[in-house]
Amino acid sequence: ERAEKIEALAATITAGIGPDQQKAEAIAGYLKKNYTYSLRTAAPPPGVSPIEDFIFNTKKGYCEHYATSMALMLRSLHIPSRVVNGYFGGEKNEYGGYTIVRQSDAHSWVEALINNRWERFDPTPATPAQHPSGLSLFIDSLQLNWSRYVVGFSSMDQRKIVRGLAMPFRLKQFSGVRIPDFKMLIYGVFSGALVLLTYFYFRKWRIRTF
């Protein structure tokens, strides 16, 4: 009975539509237009599956509800389909030159086999993008550097810092210390001191916090 209800709904949505591509687009459009995106969902009534409750009762859910519903409707129309889970989007952090991929970027969509090719469809309605403040991006960059250079200080990072500190001593001019060489030496000493001060400061702060 449950499968028959889903099949009847899929047939109603795609009535009068011939090509499978257009059928899939019609189902995706129907879900986007008639359902509400929400991360807060209640447990379905006894004997009712979460997808059945989503399609016929609450009409409210998140990406997995949308993708699974579309896949079931496509299969009822004899169109092979599958649900794909992954990450969609991400945000470039200008402070560290890397891309932030959060758990909130996790997403589900549908792939349907049409004309011997897997075509991608996303039936989930678009949600307003939430951009973090510049301060939060800066703090994220500090946390990344802390994790890399203090918590998970790799041998490669160690070699890079040692090479940087030893650079003034590898210069070819040994007959006398010139002004450029002296600047390099000061830079190396200052960099090493800054790394040590940062390490001990955060270590002291971490001990007080935890």
Angle at the Cα of 30 (from 27 to 33), degrees rounded to 5?
150
SS3 per-residue string spanning 98-143: EEECCHHHEEEEEEEEECCEEEEECCCCCCCCCCCCHHHHHHHHHH
Active site residue 63: yes
Active site residue 181: no
Active site residue 65: no
> Which member of 20, 53, 65, 122 is catalytic?
122
* Extended beta strands in the chain, E state: 36-37, 60-61, 81-87, 91-93, 98-100, 106-114, 117-121
> Which member of 107, 131, 157, 181 is catalytic?
107
> Which member of 20, 63, 65, 140 is catalytic?
63
Q: Which residues are catalytic?
A: 63, 107, 122
